[in-house]
Chain A
Amino acid sequence: MGLLLHTRVTLQAVPQGTCSGKSKEAEIKRINKELANIRSKFKGDKALDGYSKKKYVCKLLFIFLLGHDIDFGHMEAVNLLSSNRYTEKQIGYLFISVLVNSNSELIRLINNAIKNDLASRNPTFMGLALHCIANVGSREMAEAFAGEVPKILVAGDTMDSVKQSAALCLLRLYRASPDLVPMGDWTSRVVHLLNDQHLGVVTAATSLITTLAQKNPEEFKTSISLAVSRLSRIVTSASTDLQDYTYYFVPAPWLSVKLLRLLQCYPPPEDPAVRGRLTECLETILNKAQEPPKSKKVQHSNAKNAVLFEAISLIIHHDSEPNLLVRACNQLGQFLQHRETNLRYLALESMCTLASSEFSHEAVKTHIDTVINALKTERDVSVRQRAVDLLYAMCDRSNAQQIVAEMLSYLETADYSIREEIVLKVAILAEKYAVDYTWYVDTILNLIRIAGDYVSEEVWYRVIQIVINRDDVQGYAAKTALQAPACHENLVKVGGYILGEFGNLIAGDPRSSPLIQFNLLHSKFHLCSVPTRALLLSTYIKFVNLFPEVKTTIQDVLRSDSQLKNADVELQQRAVEYLRLSTVASTDILATVLEEMPPFPERESSILAKLKKKKGPSTVTDLEEAKRERSIDVNGGPEPAPASASAVSTPSPSADLLGLGAAPPVPTGPPPSAGGLLVDVFSDSASAVAPLAPGSEDNFARFVCKNNGVLFENQLLQIGLKSEFRQNLGRMFIFYGNKTSTQFLNFTPTLICADDLQANILGSAPRQMDKHGTKPVDPTVDGGAQVQQVVNIECVSDFMEAPVLNIQFRYGGTFQNVSVKLPITLNKFFQPTEMASQDFFQRWKQLSSPQQEVQNIFKAKHPMDTEITKAKIIGFGSALLEEVDPNPANFVGAGIIHTKTTQIGCLLRLEPNLQAQMYRLTLRTSKDTVSQRLCDLLSEQF
């Protein structure tokens, strides 16, 4: 007794310094004194008995928990583990789980002690050991015990309390290191724990099964019916049946919620009897919500509603019973007006998922006024944020204008922490549901005015993409941009870009004459950051092209010291180059170089990608997309033309900086047959098509793993390609170079392709000249000149045949007819997918039916170089997965082929055999024709 008292008194003395208001220093002094005392005890000559050891370890722990660092005593704590006295052991384990980190050198000693306790058959000791494993949960622990714990869990003679601890301990190990927990015959026995008499065991086991089933659904499928019958028994039991497991008159709420969570790992049960029973359960839970409460305590309503919300999640997850979905929606509607803030919050959150179901979307929409009201009146920012989320989710064409207006007005007073997200949401909704694009432009400019600081790059890039792609709104956008009163820098960027492209559309109005436009922009110039200034300089040079009358004014600006000698390299370079360009180039060349930007290919909005990134885990591809988009857009420079000039060599003798010098004016005139044309293979024009040019097959194969280069070349003509693909869409620039000094006449390229691949020939090169589509079409290609054609491609379904490009023209009186295969192959529509080793093998297993796999063994045609092979697999479009195949010499890839109708998951494996100079290529996809086609394409590459 005396000793015990001593412990307490000393411990008590420690916080005394804190509590009685003495200074922090006094506390530290007191603690240091105590630490010195303990250290001397540990180091003393006299060996401490277990009891004293426990006492001092406990004190150390106390000091640590007060927030002070402890750097000794670990060894003494580990010693306590091997004590036979429960309390000493307990303190030892507590110290270990609070203070020992996983890479400690002591881990071997600790593991040893745990091993002994697990083998002791003493339930209290086993419990302590299992708690410790779960508390530390490190990889070393998993390595040492992942085999042992499952055995304890399913052994017939294990006590209930130990089973519970073992189940959750295993769960912790599985979460920390899933690869170390071996699946085995214990899994089926774990499922049967759902039938256990002891509700505590069922509770613990359900958590474990849920987590395992998420990763291995097939293996735990039998748990569905067991879970349903268990749930049904709980739901229908009277409130007193379950004794101690009833919580404030609610029968086993924790277990109910866990069972409902487990069922969310699966689709609705297939067995009609099980399904019927589950529907009954869910109806009972919904009915109970309407019953008067059995207690006024908040615990009662919380527990009851917890089960209700979980049931609603399951209903939404199944998304198959319209009746239940609408009932769920009505129930949540009641909660929206509940006086408990927590319930309003959860109702908003839950409705958000409900809004995406086709059965309940309309029902959710009826609550729009309540939600808007919540946005305006809720005092809690968490709740307001949920309201914003729900408005976003329930938005469709019918209410977009109202919702966007409400969000915009909320934005003016919104919390700073959520502004950026609201900005993204408004931008996405405005674009997605814009019927009238003037409304879109107004909304976005408003957005920039209200919350300019929160408007990220992606948002204003997107406005510009849209304005450029839509002729009908360009004039309006230019006018609005000019009139916008506020001058947030982002607005200057948008204004600068749009006026540079479309300022001419409003120049007729004396209120927006070229000079007024220029002066307005330039008045903001000195207030802007470097990137914006750079953009404005590009606008100025575009003005030089659009409005010859302001040329001298602009040249003066460019010539001024603040530009030509600007400290910033980028600005300086732009000023010098633009000034030079404006002086040396003829108007024709200026018009070519400073051509209006071509339409952007339609693709997923980068804003959407950004929101996804903000809201949740994003895929690698999204990131890449954002980057790529940026690199295209930010240049803001006026030139796809110079890029193309370098892509295909032009015969001009002295190509200077921009390929201008002696280059003759590029002739105009899209081929007569090529305006937004969709040609199919069976059309009668096919008869006139020449057989494929010799050697074009080889060239074709070279393009399977790359997108740019020269496709075809003979003495007269060179055809170069530049292409980019995104999901099921693509865009290809075809450059035709006339290698002779004589004109090509009646130059007519025609594209022939099958139905499942649509390629529209969009515009053709001469577009450069007929900026506004006014000049007449002229199908001639001058000697030494190059014309460009844009082909937009959409993959409708998977396809075998590549389209054929047929070119016909007259050269010096002879008729020329050339056909080449355009390298548009199925693999171009690959999106790479990164995945971990176990995911890969799980999918590999799922695609094991004989039609899904195609294998090819072939001789290497090129030297077998690892790096080149890797580059080819990446060029092929799939992700290259490292550390997946147990054999490091093999290559493994994964990706998704996007077509308009479906997405096809693809896995590939390439096994080189250096000695035999052979490869074995295996492809598994969810569609047999795709496996075959990809295998054929890729086999040719090595």
Chain B
Amino acid sequence: IQFILLFSRQGKLRLQKWYTTVPDKERKKITREIIQIILSRGYRTSSFIDWKELKLVYKSIIPQLVGRKDILEISLQRIFIKLHGKKQRCTQQRTLMEGVTTRHLGTLPLLGPTFELDPVSVGGTLEGRAKVENQDNELLTLEIVHRYVELLDKYFGNVCELDIIFNFEKAYFILDEFIIGGEVQETSKKTAVKAIEESDMLQETLEEYMNKPTF
């Protein structure tokens, strides 16, 4: 895997992770082009796109939401207003909202497709490397996206776009537990999330400690 991008259907980039060294300018250009290509894909197309020397593997996380954008917009708005930045309250609020409107919308109310891609470097590394190395298995790459969303789900308890916006650092930490250097490190859901939860525990203890008045 060369990089992972997560963006909304409006084309807003929410998370990006690069596993090869690409200059910043180039990254922006690639991202722009790719978002445009993916968003313009029609329905019932395959999840793979040959793009330059790369193969893009992408997955729309809630395709069934298209056409129900209005409902979602309203729900998001509502979460937004009530959101006070605390994880628990955010979740509570959403559970409430789900009861009303989006129970049937599927479990992953994250807007837009996620995708990532595969072989070879952008801009050409050593010749000959291209063919054998890094040619990931397409279907499993697709499942990596799914598994990542599952991990986010397990941690946030039903992830939504706002979770990723406000807790972006957690999204990155979870990704690091799952994938390093473009290769899957840990496929077990329990183990991957456990590491983050442990660190959260640590954080909460610390914060409690910090806020105790010192004498």
Contact = CB atoms under 8 A, between A and B. Distances in A.
Tell me whether A and B are bound partners: yes
A244 B44 CA distance: 32
A222 to B, nearest CB: 20
Nearest to A5: B85
B143 to A, nearest CB: 5
A94 B42 CA distance: 36
A641 B13 CA distance: 65
B186 A203 contact: yes
A670 to B, nearest CB: 46
Interface in A345-387: 345-346, 379-380, 382-383, 385
A200 B189 CA distance: 11
A165 interface: yes
Contacts of B138: 306, 309, 342, 346
A342 B143 contact: no
Interface stretch (A38-46, A133-141, A713-721): A133-141
Which of under 10, 10 to 19, 20 to 34, or 35 or more describes the interface residues of A? 35 or more
A281 to B, nearest CB: 17
Given A12-B83, A306-B140, A379 B45 contact: yes
Interface in B145-193: 146-147, 165-166, 168-169, 172-173, 176, 180-191
B138 to A, nearest CB: 6
Contacts of B132: 214, 265
A67 B15 CA distance: 11
Contacts of A299: 143, 146
Interface string B118-146: 00000010111011110001111011001
Contacts of A382: 45-46, 48-50
Q: Quick one: which of A130, A165, A619 has the most chain B CB within 10 A?
A: A165
A750 interface: no
Contact of A204 (B124, B183, B189): B183
A345 B132 CA distance: 20
A302 B139 contact: yes
A3 interface: yes
Nearest to A15: B165
Contact of B166 (A11, A134, A252, A302): A11
Interface in A228-255: 244-245, 247, 252-255
Interface in A98-121: 98, 101-102
A896 to B, nearest CB: 15
Contact of A380 (B46, B181, B195, B210): B46
A302 B13 CA distance: 27
A303 B44 contact: no
B211 interface: yes
B18 to A, nearest CB: 9
A273 interface: no
B59 to A, nearest CB: 10
B13 A124 contact: no
Contacts of B130: 616-617
Contact of A94 (B86, B169, B203): B169
Contact of B137 (A164, A175, A310): A310
Contact of B46 (A86, A124, A345): A345
A19 B140 contact: no
Contact of B85 (A11, A138, A169, A346): A11
A339 B146 CA distance: 21
A305 interface: yes
A19 B80 contact: yes
Nearest to B128: A617
Q: Which of A5, A65, A305 has the most chain B CB atoms inside 10 A of its CB?
A: A65
A303 B199 contact: no
B48 A211 contact: no
Q: Give the contact-size bracket for chain B.
A: 35 or more
Interface in A611-644: 616-619
Contacts of B188: 199-200, 244-245
Contacts of B214: none
Main secondary structure, interface of A, reads helix
Nearest to A164: B185
A688 interface: no
B46 A137 contact: no
A101 B126 contact: no
B132 to A, nearest CB: 6
B13 A67 contact: yes
Nearest to A161: B195
B44 A165 contact: no
Contact of A101 (B24, B80, B133): B24
B29 interface: no
A87 interface: yes
B202 interface: yes
B68 interface: no
A916 interface: no
| Most chain A beta-carbon contacts within 10 A, residue among B19, B182, B183, B210 | B183
B49 to A, nearest CB: 6
A172 to B, nearest CB: 3
Nearest to A345: B46
Contacts of A557: none
Contacts of B84: 5, 8-9
B183 A207 contact: yes
Contacts of A176: 21
B115 to A, nearest CB: 13
B45 A341 contact: yes
B173 A305 contact: no
B153 to A, nearest CB: 13
Nearest to B131: A616
Interface in B6-34: 13, 15-16, 19-21, 24
B196 to A, nearest CB: 10
Contact of A164 (B47, B48, B139, B186): B186
A791 interface: no
Interface in A394-412: none
Given A171-B181, A341-B44, A617-B127, A252 B140 contact: no
Contacts of A616: 130-131
B182 A124 contact: no
Contacts of B181: 134-135, 137, 168-169, 171-172, 175
Interface in A24-65: 51, 58, 61-62, 65
Contact of A9 (B85, B126, B142, B187): B85
B70 interface: no
A200 B139 contact: no
A325 interface: no
A263 interface: no
B35 to A, nearest CB: 12
Contacts of B182: 172
Interface string A283-308: 00000000000000001001101100
23 contacts: A8-B84, A8-B86, A8-B166, A9-B84, A98-B172, A101-B24, A134-B180, A135-B181, A169-B180, A175-B181, A200-B188, A204-B185, A257-B137, A299-B143, A303-B139, A309-B137, A341-B46, A346-B139, A379-B42, A380-B44, A385-B50, A617-B128, A617-B130
Given A62-B168, A124-B195, 15 more contacts: A1-B211, A8-B84, A65-B13, A85-B206, A86-B203, A87-B199, A137-B20, A172-B180, A176-B21, A200-B185, A244-B188, A306-B143, A309-B139, A380-B42, A836-B126
